[in-house]
Amino acid sequence: MTEMTRRHLLGAAAATAVAPLAAAPAFATAPVAGKQVPTYYRSKLGDFEITVVSDGARPIPLPPRFVLNVPNEEVLKAAEAAYMPKGTVFAPFNPIVVNTGSKLVLIDTGYGPIAPTVGMLPQSLAAAGIDPKTIDIVLISHMHGDHINGIKNPDGSLAFPNAEIKVPAVDWTYWMDDGNMAKASEGFFKASFGFNRKIFGDMKDKVTRFDWGKEVAPGIISVETAGHTPGHTSFVIASGSSKLFFQGDVSNAPALFLTNPDWQIMFDSEPDKAIATRRRVYDMAAAEKMFIAGYHFPFPGLGWVEKAGTGYRLVPAPWNPVI
Ligand SMILES: [Zn+2]
């Protein structure tokens, strides 16, 4: 067997670069496409069909304190070790459509077109052959902009006009309270209150508030995972003996926050509670080998969590062309 060394690789690259001059092939030059395609990923869960429908992804340039209890240099080192674009933390957004057989349920709705590489849920739904008018129920894990903004189109009309919109009752009480908004710190938290008013301000009577431990759609149970927001909710989606745990933002990017579950991301409302929730959820997930959907995990965000070192690691589900 030939021994592969760095010199071999560089040598091979140089040879490739020279080759066309030596023997010009008679192939036409294809223009590069230069853009990504709308993206979705389908799989089966018991009798249910799950479609992860990408809203896009976004490199986040770090604000001064992205993780409250760790300097940015350390965060960027971890991001770089995970091959994220230099100087940023890379966050995908993965809403999910669950077809239960009787209802079409969308869990979280993406960011809306606030930046060029997000707000792509409508295109991804179209590519997946899912008509927004056929969505029966929209479930919201928590009331942050990147999960609720897609409820409305940019012109203010409802993106899912026939859907019942269901949000965690505790989050509703917190985010729709004007007193809380007045007290909110500038930046992310003020902006989050603003998003909630923009989306929900004129539909207070049309939104269903749900409690934890309830069946919020056929086969889908709401589970308390508070800390990231006061009402942060996960969903257990179950059909037959198959289960999927939609974890919302129990952690953001796994390369950062599964590896370092005690890091306090600046978006957490109650950082200590968020850490306790994270450890509780992942200890259980690891013990039960629970199948997990991560809204901010690398697309399509499906996999398992194992204990690793002082934290955890994600084992992504292998891509499967068969449903
Ligand atoms: Zn989020």
Q: Is residue 25 over pLDDT 70? A: no
Question: Phi and psi for 283 in degrees, rounded to 5?
Answer: -60, -45
51 touches 42 (CB < 8 A) = yes
Q: How confident is the model at residue 5 (pLDDT cuts 50, 70, 90)?
A: low
What distance in angstroms lies between residue 239's CA and the mean position of ligand 1's atoms? Answer: 26
What distance in angstroms lies between residue 92's CA and the mean position of ligand 1's atoms? Answer: 9
What distance in angstroms lies between residue 19's CA and the mean position of ligand 1's atoms? Answer: 48
264 touches 249 (CB < 8 A) = no
Q: Is residue 16 over pLDDT 60? A: no
What distance in angstroms lies between residue 168's CA and the mean position of ligand 1's atoms? Answer: 15
How confident is the model over 68-81, as a mean pLDDT?
95
What single DSSP character describes residue 315?
A: E
What distance in angstroms lies between residue 96's CA and the mean position of ligand 1's atoms? Answer: 14
134 touches 95 (CB < 8 A) = no
What distance in angstroms lies between residue 20's CA and the mean position of ligand 1's atoms? Answer: 48
Q: Is residue 311 over pLDDT 60? A: yes
What distance in angstroms lies between residue 295's CA and the mean position of ligand 1's atoms? Answer: 7
What distance in angstroms lies between residue 249's CA and the mean position of ligand 1's atoms? Answer: 5
Query: For residue 238, which amino acid is it?
Result: A
Range scoring the smallest mean pLDDT among 17-21, 116-120, 145-149, 252-256: 17-21
CATH of 35-316, one of 3.40.470.10, 3.40.630.10, 3.60.15.10, 3.40.50.2300: 3.60.15.10
Q: What is the pTM of this model?
A: 0.92
List pLDDT tens digits, range 172-229.
Answer: 999 999 999 999 999 999 999 999 999 999 999 999 999 999 999 999 999 999 999 9
Tokens 């959907």 belong to residue: 293
Q: pLDDT: is 314 or 13 the higher one?
A: 314
Q: How many whole angstroms separate alpha carbon 87 and alpha carbon 59?
A: 9
Q: Is residue 272 over pLDDT 90? A: yes
Which has the closest alpha carbon to 295: 237, 249, 226? Answer: 249
Burial of 83 (0-12, 13-18, 19+ CB in 10 A): exposed
Q: How confident is the model at residue 144 (pLDDT cuts 50, 70, 90)?
A: very high
Burial of 16 (0-12, 13-18, 19+ CB in 10 A): exposed
How confident is the model over 146-157, as a mean pLDDT?
97
Question: Phi and psi for 166 in degrees, rounded to 5?
Answer: -125, 125
What distance in angstroms lies between residue 68's CA and the mean position of ligand 1's atoms? Answer: 17
How confident is the model over 93-119, as a mean pLDDT?
96
How confident is the model over 227-234, as a mean pLDDT?
98
